[in-house]
Every structure is written in C-alpha cells, then in structure tokens.
Copies of this chain bind each other. A is one copy, B any other.
C-alpha cells in the first residue's frame, strides 16, 4: 500500500505542498494513519507539469522523509499540477522504475492498492497491452501494467472509459486465475490539464481517498487561516489521507466512483468496470 496526493491550481512552490502542511505526504511516508501500514518507505516520486507539455518526474528508491535532494528541488519548482507518491512495496523490487508516478507522453499515473495475485495474471495482462507500447514498460509493478492497459484502451481519449475497460479486463483475467478480488485501487491520472481519480476495488473495500473542499467555502469557514488566501479558487487537492486537521476541509471520494478535476466544473460519477475482450 502507498499514499499519494495530487494538486491542481495556481502555480505553487512544491515545498508548500510537500513539506509545509501538517501530516503532509512526507509525514505520511513515516506515519500514515489510515489503513494497515504506517510506513511508506520503499521509494517515492513526484511528477509535475512545467513549461513543456511533457511532465517531469523525480523519483528515488530511498524513503522520502530524509531525502535532501527532494527538499532542494521542492524549493525550486513551481507548478500548477503536481503528483506526489510514497511507496510501500507489495513485492516488486525497490527500484526507480517501480516508483510512481509513471509517465507516458504527457500522461502521469499513480496508484495506491494492488492487483491481487498479480504474478499469476502478469503474462496475460502484458499480452493485452498494445504491442506498440509493450517495450515502454520499464519496471515490474502491477501499477505500471494497469497504466499501460489503460493506455491501450484509450486513456488519452476517454480516461474513465479506458480505466473501466482496463479494470474490467483485470477482473476477467483474475477470475480466470481463481482470484476472487483482483483489483484494489485509488488511482490518479493526468494529461496536464485535468486530473482523473478512481476509487474502486473488486471487494468494495477500497483504501481511503479525499478531495478538498472548494476554497471559497473554506475561507468562509476559516477566515483566520492565512494560506487559504493564497490559494486560488480553482485549487483542488486529492489525497489518500487528509493533510492538516481542518474540519470541513476534506470530502471522501465515494467508494466505487471516478472524478475529474479540471478548469470549470469538477465532476464525480459512479465507476463500473467494463467487460473487455482479451
């Protein structure tokens, strides 16, 4: 299991997101509160959009909590869209190519959860990846395979549909291999303009996921909180665990749903896997 956060809003210095808030994602690498595991120390990664269409990623196999390079970079990078992830491996080696977020073209992808029995399903799932994408898989995680399945099924055109088909395929393949509950995931994906999030598990018992309350509303509730004045109206955070203990600041992404954060109106919808042909 892992922890992640995604930010969309006015360009902000990365350290404001990673290091300043109480119970930030960095703190969660050492002291996660929700879920079974408290330590997420098997590497970390951040991905962000800068001047070019292609996002940049910085990843390390060391824990996030004492990483000096991360501190340095966090104080230098401003971005309107950040992904940050701290990893707790469910078996795949601790190596940079297994750290989230994953990138393909202008897309970023990160995940908390696991594909149960992934070793059994791995070959079938990788065969279902589009042959033109196959060689771009560099690591050995379930997450990266799921990402490439989503790309195969059209992530770039219809993210919710593509993820529904990818998850549908994993469930079909999993059941064929005798795995009762193949999928457990909170996922974030972005093309640099919108962020799609997914909370779903075959067993209907998915890890936690929260999104931040509208900033204007928050300001009314907490007129004394200075940082809220610095955040623009379009600011949105999606997190595995709430940062800071701020009443009314966080809303649960409902079990079995997907949402999109984008310029204009955000949206949350039910998520249902689509039976995919293999």
Stretch at the interface among A66-74, A193-201, A207-215: A66-74
Give the interface SS of chain A, mostly helix, strand, loop or mixed.
loop
A52 at the interface (CB under 8 A from B): yes
**Per-position contact with B for A215-238: 1 when CB-CB < 8 Å, else 0?**
000000000000000000000000
User: Roughly how many angstroms separate A38 CA and B1 CA in the complex, as a whole number?
Assistant: 17
Q: Do A39 and B42 have beta carbons less than 8 Å apart? A: no
Q: Is A97 an interface residue (CB 8 A)?
A: yes
Q: Which of A24-58 contact B (CB under 8 A)?
A: 30-31, 38-39, 41-42, 50-52, 56-58
Q: How large is the interface on A (under 10, 10 to 19, 20 to 34, 35 or more residues)?
A: 35 or more
Contact B72 A56, beta carbon cutoff 8 Å = yes
Copy tally for this chain in the complex stands at 4
A116 beta carbon closer than 8 Å to chain B: no
Q: Is A206 an interface residue (CB 8 A)?
A: no
Could you say which of B41, B73, B131 contacts A58, with CB atoms under 8 Å apart?
A: B73
**Contact call A52/B68, Cβ cutoff below 8 A:** no
The 4 closest A-B pairs by CB, nearest first: A95-B95, A123-B134, A119-B135, A41-B41
